[in-house]
Structure 1
Amino acid sequence: MKRSTLLNWLIVVAVVALAAIPVLFIEGEFGGADGIAEESITESHPDYEPWFSSLYEPPSGEIESGLFALQAAIGAGVVCYYFGVARTKRRFAREAAAAAAAAEGESDRPQPVDARDS
């Protein structure tokens, strides 16, 4: 097995372990920052009223999680697309510069002299 293949598999195992260890071995409720902030505000200011309400309230937590995952996927797609386009533009610019340098180098190269011409 090549070293790079082994390294890739070790990275995959590390990522899976980072995701699985907290779920398997840490007990307790996984809550978001929104819920904690709401509890804190309710305790300190019981008469607080929000400035606005959501435009769309999903019917269940699963749908809300799915919409959040969709939003994250779209954002990741946009960011990855940008990096791919930027990398491709750089590669094409390097190739064009190398081709121009090669073409310029061929025209500046002295032509071989044949001994019979002198």
Structure 2
Amino acid sequence: MKKNLILFLLVVALVLVPFFMPQNKEAEFGGADGQAEEMITQIHPDYEPWFSSLYEPASGEIESLLFTLQGSIGAGVICYILGYYRGRGRNVHAGN
């Protein structure tokens, strides 16, 4: 139990530490959203977005971290559900 708590705290620390690190404002990081925005403004220069972001990460690296964290949590939930139903199916076939 103590080992699991230590591992959990290490994961939380790995997620939170980048938020408090000094940032390089000139770091260049571009994703598909930025490229799509550039293309839209080239095609239709007076286009205005429907809404703006509620939270703007301090840098592209943090944005990438949050995106990866979101995907990892989703994959964990899906794998848990699949494992749960697979294990439940084995118990049903075993006569339990």
Same fold (TM over 0.5): yes
Which letter maps to 2:80?
A: Y
Q: Residue in 2 aligned with 1:34?
A: 33
Higher relative contact order at CA 8 Å, sep ≥6: structure 1 or structure 2? 2
How far, CA to CA, are the matches of 1:38 and 1:67 in structure 2? 20
Give the deviation of 1:39 after TM superposition: 1.4
Greater share of helix residues, 1 or 2? 1
- RMSD between superposed Cα atoms in Å: 1.7
Pair 1:93 & 2:92 matched? yes
Q: Structure 2, unaligned stretches of length 5 or more?
A: 1-28
How far, CA to CA, are the matches of 2:30 and 2:53 in structure 1? 20
How far, CA to CA, are the matches of 1:76 and 1:46 in structure 2? 38
The higher radius of gyration belongs to: 1
Pair 1:49 & 2:48 matched? yes
What does residue range 62-81 of structure 1 map to in structure 2 within 5 Å?
62-81=61-80
Q: Structure 1, unaligned stretches of length 5 or more?
A: 1-29, 100-118
How far, CA to CA, are the matches of 1:35 and 1:60 in structure 2? 13
Give the deviation of 1:62 after TM superposition: 1.2
With structure 1 as the length reference, what TM-score do the two structures score?
0.53
With structure 2 as the length reference, what TM-score do the two structures score?
0.65
For the Cα contact (< 8 Å) 2:57–2:63, is it kept in 1? Answer: yes
The count of corresponding residues between Structure 1 and Structure 2 is 68
Give the deviation of 1:31 after TM superposition: 5.1
Give the deviation of 1:40 after TM superposition: 1.3
How far, CA to CA, are the matches of 1:62 and 1:41 in structure 2? 24
Runs of 4+ with >2 A deviation: 30-33
Which letter maps to 2:41?
A: T
